[in-house]
Amino acid sequence: MNRNRVMAILVAAVFLSMPAGCTEGARKRTGFSVRDFGALGNGETLDTAAIQKALDECGKAGGGIVRIPAGNYLSGAIFIKSNTTLCIEEGAVLQGSSAESRDYPVIDSRFAGTEQKCHASLINAIDAHDVTITGRGTVAGSGIGGSRPPTGPRVIEFIRCRNVLLENIKVTNKGRWTIHPLYCKNVIIRGLDIRTTGPNADGIDPDSCDKVLITKCTFETGDDCIAIKSGKNQQAVDIGIPCQNVTVTKCTMLGGHACVALGSEISGGIRNIVVKNCVFKNMHRGFDIKTRKGRGGFVENVTVENIKTFGVKNAILMRMDYPGNKGDLIEGPAGISTVRNITCRNFDIHNGGMGGVRGAKESPIQDLTLKNFMCHGNGKLKIEAVNGLVIENIRNKNTDKAVTMTNVKLRD
């Protein structure tokens, strides 16, 4: 049993021991309805104060359930306390207001890899523990604001939180990141339906987190469905918090740029990642590792397996010359990223291509295993600048030559 699989089992054991939110255990806890605090849910009146009052009273009581019943609740930023379950019930919509300066206070956060001033998100939890967002309702981001500090609000953001659960809700957004766990530990995201449009509209961005499970979610996004990050350039190196022990399983991606991306903000390091049993559709990239000279950091101990792709141009893509996110680059050898111990196996590729792997001349990708790729078309797998390659059973339905290699050393 390899290291990644052992880590996945240990992480799953931690997740399964966490409370399931608004279920049997939660029903015994104190309940608060936002209606009792004056929320109207008519889609026109700003309900921020009433919802926040319910959350504050729940916090004062030591925790409980705050319920948002059916209705359309226009709101600015709200903040969840520890030991709180926010239950957005079926037929309820929490709609982000479009008044950025009035309704979203400026806080310290990180966006696009850099710690900076940001407008608070629609739903926030900061330095909290045992927080759940659940129900069958919808959280709708407004998509307002720009990308320069203070950046526009995300939809849901957790900062330095422990034991977080998001389940079953639908989340929509127009531009910008949607769900952003930052510096968090023990996060479960399951059964979400995430639909976004516009540039930079990632679905979920785990950012310098430890122990994250994303499972049984559906994505259709304007950018990457899941983007795993750890900050960029010297600031993130100095902070030194990797994103690690992340499992993505049983998810379906229906559209966007990449299904699961690592980077390009990897300066704090990314390790112990498992992506398995997923369906990728209608994307430019399925699994994507991206970094660039001057970024630094590392990606290591990654397993991607049992993937079906439909209409995906590149089932896998690994590149160390990604052109985006320039910023203040790290000079010299310290700015060269390290990518090592990557395994991709059991890919069933329909109406698309296999993709490519491109290490850096100064730092080839180390210890890469590629096994059991079946492409039902004409695609080829292009591999460049790899040391320690294991490659087996890479097939193409319509040609005998399914792989091309340049500057590659096979593992003994």
**Could you tell me if 280 and 299 lie in one domain?**
yes
Give the total number of structural domains in the chain: 2
**Could you tell me if 188 and 267 lie in one domain?**
no
Quote the pLDDT of residue 244: 98
Domain boundary among 177, 198, 221: 221
b/e per residue 376-391 (b: at least 16 CB within 10 A): eeebbbbbbbbbbbeb
Q: Which residues contact 194 (CB under 8 A, 6 or more apart)?
A: 170, 171, 172, 178, 179, 203, 204, 217, 218, 219, 220, 221, 225
Tell me which residue of 68, 145, 133 sits closest to 106, measured CA to CA.
145
d(CA 260, CA 275): 8
Quote the pLDDT of residue 124: 98
**Could you tell me if 27 and 116 lie in one domain?**
yes
**Could you tell me if 261 and 394 lie in one domain?**
yes
Give the domain extent around 176.
1-221
Quote the pLDDT of residue 325: 65
**Could you tell me if 81 and 199 lie in one domain?**
yes
- Can you list the alpha helix ranges (DSSP code H) found in 240-383? none
Domain boundary among 162, 190, 221: 221
**Could you tell me if 145 and 75 lie in one domain?**
yes
DSSP lists the bridge partners of residue 285 as 258, 314
**Could you tell me if 235 and 86 lie in one domain?**
no
d(CA 323, CA 290): 9
Domain boundary among 221, 244, 263: 221
The CA-to-CA distance between both ends of the chain, in Å, stands at 20
d(CA 275, CA 160): 24
DSSP lists the bridge partners of residue 288 as 261, 317
Tell me which residue of 261, 264, 272, 270 sits closest to 242, measured CA to CA.
270
Tell me which residue of 24, 1, 151, 163 sits closest to 82, measured CA to CA.
163
**Could you tell me if 69 and 152 lie in one domain?**
yes
**Could you tell me if 10 and 29 lie in one domain?**
yes
**Could you tell me if 382 and 407 lie in one domain?**
yes
pLDDT tens, the chain, 412 aa long: 455 554 444 444 444 444 444 543 344 457 999 999 999 999 999 999 999 999 999 999 999 999 999 999 999 999 999 999 999 999 999 999 999 999 999 999 999 999 999 999 999 999 999 999 999 999 999 989 888 899 999 999 999 999 999 999 999 999 889 999 999 999 999 999 999 998 889 999 999 999 999 999 999 999 999 999 999 999 999 999 999 999 999 999 999 999 999 999 999 999 999 999 999 999 999 999 999 999 999 999 999 999 999 999 999 999 999 987 666 789 999 999 999 999 999 999 999 999 999 999 999 999 999 999 999 987 889 999 999 999 999 999 877 689 999 999 999 8
Quote the pLDDT of residue 16: 42
With 0-12 / 13-18 / 19 or more C-beta atoms within 10 angstroms meaning exposed / middle / buried, residue 216 is: middle
**Could you tell me if 216 and 230 lie in one domain?**
no
* Longest CA span, the chain: 70
Q: Are the C-beta atoms of residues 299 and 266 closer than 8 Å to each other? A: yes
**Could you tell me if 210 and 241 lie in one domain?**
no
d(CA 288, CA 295): 16
